[in-house]
Structure 1
Amino acid sequence: MTKEGGASLEWEAPALVLSTAPFGEADLLVHLFSAEHGVVHGLARGGGARRNAAMWQPGNLVHAQWRARSAEQLGSLVGEAVAAIAGRAIQSRIALSCLSSICAVADLALPERQPHPHLFDDTVAVLSALPREEDAFANLLRWEMALLADLGFALDLSACAATGEREGLAYVSPRTGRAVSRDAAGIWAQRLLPLPALFMDPSDFGTPEQWSEGLRLTGHFLWRDVFGPLHRPLPSARQRIADLARALREQSA
């Protein structure tokens, strides 16, 4: 719900906490993600106090109230806890790493105050599934694909770019973002990015090898199309989840 009148602006809505930073002795600068308002920054007075700190953990779902004198101003923020997702994710290294990566990527990749309602719903669903580990990596990878699509950089995995075939898709062109079949790749396969089978089957949770390959695939396009133009590296939390997937791949070899 949004109210605007005179020189003030106010809204309230469910929102995910993406990041926080101390502001003064007890306040927090909070970055939120809501369906209608996108990524919004606000000042939570007393947010750093012990009684409030747990609510503002990245990954948590809150009912937020944001108010400012103008749309350009850093608004004041109050919230009520809805789902303590961060507290559940901390039980698992994989879950916490996935949560941290999703929050960091969304925080830095999404433009401020641009609505992304479908991506918001996807993000809530993926984070709410934690701390379940078996599908955490697959959900993360599909979420990154959804984010790329929402920002206008969707990959085309519907058919082979060279032959039009819909079967045997095994690679993605790092230049065009289009799928390539194993047969069509031929001697060029080493120049292409592997396409893990989990992207083609929603019921497939994948393997450590596929998780690592999938993160390499989405990471390439996140850097090229999203973070590179902003002159930023991939967030450190995103790099850590890729490192974790590689470590799990080596352990399973």
Structure 2
Amino acid sequence: MSIQLTVAVISAVVALVSIVLSSRAARMQTILSAELERQSAELAREKKRHDIMSRFRDPLLWSAFDLQSRLYNIVTRNFLQTYGASKEAREREYARRSTLFVICEYLGWVEIIRRRIRFLDLGNRQDNRRLISLLAEISETLSTSAYLDRRFRVLRGEQRALGELMISRGGHAESCLGYAEFCNRLEVDTGFAKWTQGLTQDIETLIESPDLLQRITDLQCGLINLVNFLDPYAERIPETQRSLLRSSSKDAP
């Protein structure tokens, strides 16, 4: 074989090898680029999930905590009797309105969550189902007729209505009315106040007749379960502030 032919064959082989290597390198580069894009998209989805969780989960957590705290104080510290029958007009008004507010605020955040539930990804389907189950249990405690005492019974449609009325649409994100705006709406909006009349009357009767309501006890227990689920490692609410009222079965009919 002539030297020229040998050189040509070697050059052809080198060229072929270079093409093969370049092709493999291009494929590897494509694979690496696709993997980087996938990881980047996954990080973006995770960040969005955490942002949505913070936007909706945390307010739900705090509203549940505030409501259970008020119920706990009503049962163990006679909150409504102490302040609802106070000699100070400001204290009497606060006892009634703040109690009404924490109930309505919780229902407001539940309504927001209900509308946004497909966005509230807690990380896996089991957690998502658990959240829905806890909210349903609390709703059932509020609406059921299984208790002999009908006070603090809020039917499911009424829960939705109160929740809708509590939603504030200022800015770009849904939120709940603050306490000041809530009190103002009670005074100037007769339609708004009408939906709260039942609970307002229940608060009044509980001030006058401070007997224990099993519905309140069971509701507080359900709310504590929700708080424990939303903040399992006590990163926001200390364990020492999660006292549980003794729970028992519903009143026998």
Q: Which has the higher strand share?
A: 1
State which structure, 1 or 2, has the greater radius of gyration over its C-alpha atoms: 2
**TM over 0.5, shorter chain:** no
Which structure exhibits the higher relative contact order, with contacts defined as CA atoms closer than 8 Å and separated by 6 or more residues? Answer: 2
Q: What is the TM-score of this pair, normalised by structure 2?
A: 0.24
Q: What is the TM-score of this pair, normalised by structure 1?
A: 0.24
